Amino acid sequence: MIKVLLYEMDNPTPSTAPALPPVPRPVRRKKRGVNAFGATLVVAIFLAFLFTAWMPDSIFAANLSEQLSLILTPQPVSVVNALNTPQPQLRIGIVAGHSGNDSGAVCRDSTGQVTLTEADVNMKIASLVQKQLVDRGFQVDLLNEFDTRLNGYRAVALVSIHNDSCDYVNDQATGFKVSSSMDTRDVNRATRLIACLVDRYERATGLTFHSGSITGDMREYHAFSEIDPNTITAIIETGFLNLDRTILTNHTELVADGVVQGILCFVKNENVEPTPSPTFAP
């Protein structure tokens, strides 16, 4: 008996009590990434706040909703590409009358020495017109009188710059003239180009529209039949080299600005006063 007890003490019987379940370890949850849309919204609101720091109230009020919509709305690839593609420049042609061909009208002093040529005046005005239009974002071709590029030339407008005689005619031989092609496909647009040039040039220079002496040479100017028929064109004689010589030579920037304003009026479809109908001289 004692041996049995000692045996049991030395070799205890395994317990039949159920084992306790293991204590679960706390699971560390990974922080989820910030929702992409939420981040975009925060950025958009931040940008909108920055805009208000420097943009005028009127501009901000008008464009904020469009800006936020553009930022928050996913854009198709084609739309994004279109927004990022530079818009083509409008092409305008400026002809420097007689340039590359002849001198045009020639002014001489009392001894017969040449003091001024029409071609030189035309080129100076045309070059300034080109520069002003280029500065405004247009693509401008400065063309010679019989430039080979005139053949089939395509542009939103073509203006040829000339001047009238150096000789004294009478006290009325002052002012400017404008004419366009007689065979244009778009009479309305051609008429509008003339109206814009007359109105803006007269305002800029103070010279009067000399409608009574527009000649057949102006109405049948050779470039009219050489360029693409869809190109709207005009010829302007910016003044008389005799009585208007001072403004043409000493205030050339003002003369050029008058031509530029006339072209911009046409291209931008600005308001213009009706132009008196010219009476054509033979």
Cβ partners under 8 Å of residue 144, min gap 6: 95, 96, 99, 100, 101
- Average per-residue pLDDT in the chain? 79
Q: Which of 37-46, 65-74, 226-235, 264-273 has the lowest mean pLDDT?
A: 65-74
Residues 210-244 have pLDDT tens digits of 888 888 889 899 999 999 999 999 999 999 999 99
pLDDT for residue 77:
53
pLDDT for residue 42:
53
Q: Tell me: pLDDT of 163 over 70.
A: yes
Confidence of residue 174 (pLDDT cuts 50, 70, 90): very high
Confidence of residue 181 (pLDDT cuts 50, 70, 90): confident
CA dist., res. 118 & res. 115, Å (int): 10
Residues 105-154 have pLDDT tens digits of 999 999 999 999 999 999 999 999 999 999 999 999 999 999 999 999 99
pLDDT for residue 85:
53
